């Protein structure tokens, strides 16, 4: 009886992890943008655009990989840097998968403004 109980106690956390939903592909936390490649193909030439103007670039985002980018490293086409404390309204991610198809992810576009 005790052995069965200890097996259940050990397996319960695994069941919770297995049943939880996957994290969102784009998240913002503590001044950091995180992009998750939740596919089985590498992404190339990944452009991350925050609030329609501030951009960051990742040459390759590996399959099942993540890109963490501090917001203060994003710049506009005119060289203006991100100002800490600015709210993040939208994020657009565009790239190409290994088979050549376009990858597009968005964050915040579905919210009413």
CA dihedral over 93, 96, 101, 102, signed as positive or negative: positive
Task: Specify if 31 maps to a domain.
Answer: yes
Task: Specify if 48 maps to a domain.
Answer: yes
Residue 80 main-chain phi, psi, to 5 deg:
-75, 135
Residues in the chain, how many? 113
State the DSSP H helix or E strand holding residue 26, giving kind and residue range, or none if neither.
Answer: strand 26-29
Residue 22's pLDDT is: 87
Task: Specify if 58 maps to a domain.
Answer: yes
Residue 21's pLDDT is: 87
Task: Specify if 14 maps to a domain.
Answer: no
The 3-state DSSP class for residue 109 equals: coil
Identify the CATH number of the domain in which residue 94 sits: 2.60.40.2890
**Does the pTM exceed 0.95?**
no
**Beta 54-61 vs 102-107: how paired, if at all?**
unpaired
The structure tokens 């109980």 sit at: 5
Provide the Cα torsion 73, 107, 65, 103; round to 10°: -110
Q: 10-residue block means of pLDDT along the chain (113 residues)?
A: 49 60 93 96 97 96 96 95 95 95 94 55
Residue 15's pLDDT is: 56
**CA–CA separation, 24 vs 35, rounded Å?**
9
Task: Specify if 113 maps to a domain.
Answer: no
Specify burial of residue 3 (Cβ count, 10 A radius: 0-12, 13-18, 19+): exposed
Query: Number of structural domains, the chain?
Result: 1
Could you tell me the residue range of the domain that residue 77 belongs to?
Answer: 22-107
């Amino acid at each position: 009886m005790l052995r069965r109980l200890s097996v259940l106690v050990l397996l319960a956390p695994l069941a919770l992890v297995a049943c939880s939903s996957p994290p969102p592909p784009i998240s913002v936390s503590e001044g950091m943008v995180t992009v998750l490649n939740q596919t089985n193909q590498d992404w190339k030439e990944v452009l991350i655009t925050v609030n329609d103007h501030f951009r960051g670039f990742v040459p390759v985002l590996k399959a099942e990989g993540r890109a963490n980018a501090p917001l203060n490293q994003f710049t506009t086409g005119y060289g203006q840097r991100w100002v800490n404390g600015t709210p993040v309204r939208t994020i657009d991610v565009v790239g190409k998968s290994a088979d050549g198809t376009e990858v597009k992810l968005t964050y915040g576009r579905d919210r009413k403004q």
